[in-house]
Chain A
């Protein structure tokens, strides 16, 4: 995003905000889904995150920090959603069958997406965050450490443990039903 757009947003121009939302909606939605929200809740989360961003844009220092700033808002909103959904843990509500959350024009198909999400859902939350930021969003360990407020060494440890846990889950559950993965190999 150009710095000019951020400045226009800070100036309160509605057209700039629409552009900003269109540019960031997909990313925030993806984060919400990876962090364990179902598609409809992820939409709510994305709306709330963008609306919060609009209200508090003055606290975003620069265009370079925008992504990590948005992610911080997202994890707080997701945490709130989880807390408010306490009744799901108390009441015997049947979990809906997982469906695809993304558009699959190219890349991995819906079956693969569901298999990956199923595994991620069973991982620890801090492991999922490490995988999301490092492998999906492509941040360096140092950037992930800065976003999560932990030392880079801890990020490396979490990534290693997260990969092992993911592989174990993949083999135990999703792997049996997953589609062929071609030439990918064990790390």
Chain B
């Protein structure tokens, strides 16, 4: 500890202590070198915009990626697109965020696909499904003549063998609804469901694409012969199907327009026998005249 001395004159103290004070030589060298580095010639023209453009491009990629991958399941606010009775082709294909693989000889339809629901119908062969994790209210279901399989985020296989349906679960859990009731299958389990098709309604939507194509042709006033062939094929292949009324009605009209009045009358009588009341029945009576009245 040093002895107390007289209080200094502040001006002299500061002058003596600081006025001639210099930084260490190394510090001076660092300051000069750093300042020289920082005084590079200013960038000109487009070079000045490169950092900003890089940042903007990065932000754009982030926004695009976030919209495409992270946010898509939860930010879909547009009206749900509904796809009815679109046939699946063999092989892997994407259904929204999900993926399905139909065996080569298989036949399946996308009955409905909206932002939240996917419903498939398997008519023949094997369907392997890889379902993305589903949010609240979302569903994914596969219908066969015997069962309906509902899932929430899983991988499973549905295979139709004759009158039986195999359900094999590779990942997660599925709920299977059959005539025997509901039951769940978890990872590694497989089950064979051999109950006969409960009602034709389950399988009846098959062939819907023929009817839809025929109606499209009629609506565009194109290929009436082809439309008639499609409707005839439907009525032959799926007697009692859910589209029987439409198929009979429009085929009858097509035959009448083509001048085949006998075929038209036969079809009309078949229609009236099955669907005696309703607007279409009355239209057919009006179209075919009083002699065609039952």
Cβ–Cβ < 8 Å partners of A14 in chain B: 36
Q: Which residues of B contact A1 (CB under 8 A)?
A: none
CB contacts (< 8 Å) of B9 on chain A: these are 184-187
**Interchain CB contact under 8 A, A21 and B8:** no
Does A124 have its Cβ within 8 Å of any Cβ on chain B?
Answer: no
CB distance B36 to A21 under 8 Å? yes
The listed residue (A135, A167, A180) touching B5 by CB distance below 8 A is A180
B22 within 8 A of A: yes
Q: Which residues of A contact B17 (CB under 8 A)?
A: 107-108, 112-113, 116
Inter-chain contact A116/B14, CB cutoff 8 Å: yes
* A22: nearest chain-B partner, CB-CB: B32
Q: What are the residues of chain B within 8 A of A50 when measuring CB–CB?
A: 31-32, 35, 38-39
- B residues whose Cβ falls under 8 Å from a Cβ of A: 1-25, 27-28, 30-32, 34-36, 38-39, 42
Asked if A170 and B19 make an inter-chain contact with CB atoms under 8 angstroms apart, the answer reads no
Interface of A is mostly: helix
Considering only CB atoms, which chain A residue lies closest to B42 in the complex?
A55
Chain A: CB-nearest residue to B12: A184
Given contacts A21-B36, A135-B14, contact A181 B6 (CB under 8 A): yes
Query: What's the nearest-Cβ distance from chain B to residue A33, in Å?
Result: 8
Q: Name the CB-closest residue of B to A12.
A: B41
Cβ of A18 under 8 Å from chain B:
yes
Q: Is A26 a contact partner of B23 (Cβ separation < 8 A)?
A: yes
User: What would 13 A/B residue contacts be, using CB atoms closer than 8 Å?
Assistant: A21-B35, A22-B28, A25-B31, A43-B27, A51-B34, A135-B19, A167-B10, A176-B1, A177-B1, A181-B13, A183-B6, A185-B8, A187-B10
- List, in ascending order, chain B residues with CB within 8 A of A42's CB: 23
Task: Report the separation of the CA atoms of residues A107 and B25 in the bound assembly, to the nearest whole angstrom.
Answer: 17
Q: Residues of A with Cβ closer than 8 Å to B?
A: 14, 17-18, 21-22, 25-26, 28-30, 33-34, 39, 42-44, 46-48, 50-51, 54-55, 101-103, 107-108, 112-113, 116, 131-132, 134-138, 163, 166-167, 170-171, 175-187
Tell whether A18 pairs with B2 under 8 Å between CB atoms, given A43-B30, A181-B8: no
Q: How far is the CA of A184 from the CA of B7 in the complex (A)?
A: 7
Judging by beta carbons under 8 Å apart, are A178 and B2 in contact? Answer: yes
Instruction: Point out the residues of chain A lying under 8 angstroms from B24, CB to CB.
Output: 102-103
Least Cβ distance of A34 to chain B in Å? 6
Partner pick for B3 among A18, A180, A187, CB 8 A cutoff: A180
Give Cα distance in the complex from A177 to B5, angstroms: 10
Name A178's closest neighbour in chain B (CB-CB): B2
For residue B22, give the distance in angstroms from its CB to the closest CB of chain A.
4
The interface residues of chain B, by DSSP majority, are classed as helix
Q: Judging by beta carbons under 8 Å apart, are A47 and B23 in contact?
A: no
* Given A108-B17, A184-B9, A185-B6: A26 touches B28 (CB 8 Å cut-off): yes
Q: Is the CB of B18 within 8 A of A116?
A: yes
CB distance from A108 to the nearest CB of B (A): 4
CB-based contact A178/B36 at 8 Å: no
- Contact residue among A17, A34, A107, A180 (Cβ-Cβ distance under 8 Å from B39): A17
For A51, list chain B residues within 8 Å (CB).
34-35, 38-39
Whether A138 and B4, one on each chain, are in contact in the complex, defined by CB atoms closer than 8 angstroms, is no
| B14 touching A102, Cβ below 8 Å | no
A residues in contact with B10, CB < 8 Å? 131, 135, 163, 166-167, 187
Pick from B10, B25, B27, B32 the residue with the most CB of A within 10 Å.
B10
Please determine whether B23 and A170 come into contact, CB atoms closer than 8 angstroms: no
Q: A135-B15, A186-B6, A186-B7 are in contact. List 20 more A-B contacts (CB 8 A).
A: A18-B32, A21-B35, A22-B32, A25-B35, A43-B34, A47-B30, A47-B34, A50-B38, A50-B39, A51-B38, A54-B38, A102-B24, A108-B16, A108-B17, A116-B17, A131-B14, A176-B1, A179-B2, A184-B6, A184-B13
Question: Which residues of chain B come closer than 8 Å to A136, judged between CB atoms?
Answer: 14-15, 18-19
Which residues of chain B are near A166, meaning CB under 8 Å?
10
Which residues on the A side are within 8 Å of B28 (C-beta)? Answer: 22, 25-26, 29
A108 to B21, CA, bound (A): 9
A22 to B: closest C-beta gap in Å: 6
- Given A22-B28, A113-B21, A116-B17, A175 and B7 touching (CB < 8 A)? yes
| Interface contact B38-A30, CB-CB below 8 Å | no
